[in-house]
Structure 1
């Protein structure tokens, strides 16, 4: 499954967590900020994660042809599905558009068009297509879910919540709807409601690691480190190659005083995603906490390189200042 997203989890790095980082802690004031910037999801969009896992691929369910136009529409629909399977999203969009033009009553065609447009990052057009699907079939719960998710991605929280509520009214057991509702409530600053939604998503989509991960981030922010640890471990049990979960577990382990175990998690995150700049930075701080200064400097230099590669000059400078301070500490020790 594609992971993510452009999901932005406001993860707090070791330096900001009240952890006694020893001598290196004094460098934090030089960095101007101890809080890491939001972690960008590394593979696809967070909202789409669970959608992908829930098998929300183009629907292959054309209605029985009632006339020549609907028969042609079904043919265009099948062509679009074939293009999606081939990875040709542009051609799929054209085919699904043709299907809606040939049969304007096909909710399936509008829904598939919305999925393809969303995959092509055309959010406004995708929202319009999903809305058309709901107008054609008012009981189409997945269309409401996707419409709400697209609006959430576009930061239109009020409308997103309304459509997700409609999806849940139609299907209270929809793990996808519960998951997106959790994301929405977290974005609104309602951690209790978000945790409740994620817990429901876990019940109804037990194979999906993302609800566990997002619940863990909330527990982390609330200072409930043992619960955060359990949530991140549950996410990793479902997907051992989930770099953000590995990173976040490492952060939590440092807060619990387990720096060695944290370093192992940061290392695994970097094996999965070698460009994960924050993981280099966090690992460097954890190594410094253990007074392994040479390793810490080398790792922090990798963080600098990764930040530069992604165009993040601010955090490249922060990491460079940490290196300078580490050199001072190492010389005086």
Structure 2
């Protein structure tokens, strides 16, 4: 029964790659130092490259990502050495799922300013999501040479090492990320994932608890706590964790699937059928046909058992 959980132990790796993707250069966050050999600012329609950069930032803040992309592109065309424009273009492209153009923009930011550590870190993150682990590692190492305290670079490097199944070095990187990004729950979560791979369950539980302490609505962390309790036969603790997972994200099907398994063990088949039906419907809605099928099979078992005399 416990193997039902294994599929989801690395499910959030890809979605959490760019921990630093919200870094934008606005009035509250100064732009990186300019290259010492910047040319005179070019103009288009009376607007300088910096004007277009500011316009793009305003569009981002207004939720108009496509307008921001157009503005950042205009800024980079007017001044190819404006690293902040390339960088923010990369962030905006990443936001709409254009991974390769995003990586290209981050690369141009590193060319415009070879000491721009966040650009190297996000370039490494984009390459990681594209499964180019060696090149991702190289750029992340460069980011950390430039800024050893850049928390999300340590985090992205930890993800590279986790993908490489090098759990000890991954944990070391995630611990560094926690040191420099104290409000980010993801490093603690991935420490827990690494400890799960090593079957160090008590340490995994501690790490997941740390993640939900930072972010009580971290549904995946609650779910993995529940899966550990379930596999250890501590059904009430497991059920409480799955409930917290569902409360944190009502559209997270794994939480309902896990609760269904607990109710099956407790022989509460009516409750099991209710949550398994919900899990099945969510899996279907999210295009996860295999796990929808698994939930459907369990649902039928629960319904059959619920109608049998006990």
Whether the TM-score (by the shorter chain) exceeds 0.5 is yes
Q: In the TM superposition, what is the alpha-carbon distance from 1:332 to its structure 2 partner?
A: 6.2
Out of 80, 86, 103, the residue aligned to residue 127 of structure 1 is: 103
Q: In the TM superposition, what is the alpha-carbon distance from 1:16 to its structure 2 partner?
A: 2.9
> How many pairs align?
300
* 1:243 and 2:219 aligned: yes
Q: 1:20 matched to which residue of 2?
A: none
Counterpart mapping for 1:177-326 below 5 A? 177-326=153-302
* 1:16 and 2:2 aligned: yes
User: Does 1 or 2 have the higher relative contact order (CA < 8 Å, sep 6+)?
Assistant: 1
Q: 2:40 matched to which residue of 1?
A: 67
- Stretch moving more, 302-311 or 233-242: 302-311
For the 8 Å contact 1:107–1:136, the answer to whether it is kept is: yes
Q: In the TM superposition, what is the alpha-carbon distance from 1:104 to its structure 2 partner?
A: 1.5
Q: In the TM superposition, what is the alpha-carbon distance from 1:166 to its structure 2 partner?
A: 0.6
Out of 80, 91, 115, the residue aligned to residue 104 of structure 1 is: 80
CA offsets 1:200-222 (integer angstroms, 9 cap, x no match)? 11111111100001111111222
Unaligned residue ranges in structure 2 (runs of 5+): none
For the 8 Å contact 2:219–2:248, the answer to whether it is kept is: yes
Q: Could you state the TM-score of these two structures normalised by the residue count of structure 2? A: 0.89
Q: In the TM superposition, what is the alpha-carbon distance from 1:77 to its structure 2 partner?
A: 0.9
The Cα RMSD (Å) is 2.4
Q: In the TM superposition, what is the alpha-carbon distance from 1:129 to its structure 2 partner?
A: 1.1
SS at match of 2:72: helix
For the 8 Å contact 2:52–2:75, the answer to whether it is kept is: yes
For the 8 Å contact 2:158–2:171, the answer to whether it is kept is: yes
Distance 1:209 1:83 in 2: 28
Distance 2:189 2:61 in 1: 29
Distance 2:285 2:147 in 1: 44
For the 8 Å contact 1:229–1:253, the answer to whether it is kept is: no
Distance 2:108 2:299 in 1: 55
Distance 1:292 1:142 in 2: 52
Out of 32, 46, 49, the residue aligned to residue 16 of structure 2 is: 46
Aligned CA distance change for structure 1 residues 38 and 198 (closer, same or farther; 3 Å):
closer
For the 8 Å contact 1:36–1:278, the answer to whether it is kept is: no
* 1:87 and 2:54 aligned: no
CA offsets 1:8-29 (integer angstroms, 9 cap, x no match)? xxxxxxx235xxxxxxxxxxxx
Aligned CA distance change for structure 1 residues 37 and 251 (closer, same or farther; 3 Å):
closer
